Amino acid sequence: MKTQQYHLTELTAPDFAENPTAQIVLAFGSRFLLEDKAYYEVVKSKFPDAVLISCSTAGEIIDTQVTDDSIALTAISFDKTPFKTSLANRTQYETTAECGRELVRPLLSPGLKHIMVLADGQVVNGTELIDGINSIVSQEVTVSGGLAGDGSRFEKTVVGLNDNLKAGNIVAIGFYGNHVKIGFGSSGGWDSFGPERKITRSKDNVLYELDGQSALSLYKNYLGDLAKGLPGNALLFPLALRADGKDSVVRTILSINEKEESMTFAGNMPEGFYVRLMKSNFDRLIDAASVAAGNSLQTIDNSPPDLAILISCVGRKLVLDQRVDEEVESVREKFGDKTAITGFYSYGELSPFNKSLRCELHNQTMTITTLAEL
């Protein structure tokens, strides 16, 4: 497996040579650059035989750099690993779960090892997407990926397969055979505080009541003066969500409705589950990125990967601010110098907790997928 990486800040005369051997090009970048008419033509002119997979971001990762308003390009050439791609658009299906099932159905061939999913971050319910995918994918096949971003604007996200780039798109890549090794890890590093409360009224990803009280009112009470900055400040105070006897996942608030006294989250908030407020701790957030890298190494027998795809949450980027590079640098320290690193800041992360569990939607985590070819 070979990789080549390029960082584009503009689309005129990019400074890299044509590579006809590239099979996949991952492009994580600014929505405005990806939607530029010149984008597809420029990239395809340099990688004529490659499948182009594009995803808008809330920040781009390439090597140990975190940037905005650019495109992080990674060209991949496999020696022995077959792959397939699939595309679906959420607007063409009655439910997100159905869209997820139809997305991965064309990939269900013998030898399937892993599916990587990149999805629209505004109109796709990440929980339902993963529920649909998990319902038809065997336990032996792992799934990871993330939801596209749009900076801190939350206006529109786009995902594309070749020249089909639009809102609502979901792209999946299936990797096959015994020569590819896939690792994954996910960690948050947020600190919980306050009492745990039970969800007593919700619908899908909209939360209305906790312990029989208005969830929005309770949330505002905890935030105090910071509540004046909602919904933006909600990225700084996510909720830990758990079912009885299970590990918790983090959920980010996307919007609030003052009239209904409700909060809309990036994933479902089922009635009967428990939530607890969380706050940031700079050092623990950075340490969590290192933990995620370590976990991803454990799933591939601690061998340095050829490529690491980092998908971290926009909330982490806003909290870390000037220190955001540090979480990527901590990943580099775990992998060493030979691993190519790319990725983006997202509106949601998709990963199993560990090797034995199925994929789940996470928020406010650093999630890492690693690839190596034997």
Judge contact between 216 and 263, C-beta under 8 A.
Answer: yes
Could you count the other beta carbons within 10 Å of the beta carbon of residue 121? 28
Question: What pLDDT sits at residue 255?
Answer: 84
Per the DSSP assignment, residues forming a β-bridge with 371 are 182, 307
Instruction: Reduce the DSSP state of residue 330 to 3 states and report it.
Output: helix
Q: SS3 string of 295-319?
A: HHHHCCCCCCCCEEEEEEEHHHHHH
Burial of 103 (0-12, 13-18, 19+ CB in 10 A): buried
Q: Where are the alpha helices (DSSP H) in 28-83?
A: 31-34, 37-46
Question: What pLDDT sits at residue 13?
Answer: 63
The single-letter DSSP state of residue 235 is G
Judge contact between 361 and 346, C-beta under 8 A.
Answer: no
Q: SS3 string of 79-145?
A: CCCCEEEEEEEHHHCCCHHHHHHHHHHHHCCCCEEEEEEEECCCCCCHHHHHHHHHHHCCCCCEEEE
In order along its 374 residues, the chain shows pLDDT tens digits of 999 999 999 887 667 777 889 999 999 999 999 999 999 999 999 999 999 999 999 999 999 999 999 999 999 999 999 999 999 999 999 999 999 999 999 999 999 999 999 999 999 999 999 999 999 999 999 999 999 999 988 889 999 999 999 999 999 999 999 999 999 999 988 888 889 999 999 999 999 999 999 999 999 998 899 898 887 788 788 999 998 877 788 898 888 999 999 999 888 999 999 999 998 888 999 999 999 999 999 888 888 999 999 999 998 998 899 999 999 999 999 999 999 999 999 999 999 876 667 899 998 899 999 999 98
Question: What pLDDT sits at residue 302?
Answer: 83
Degrees, nearest 5: CA angle 248-267-273: 45
Helices then strands (H, E): number in the chain? Answer: 8, 26
Question: What pLDDT sits at residue 244?
Answer: 82
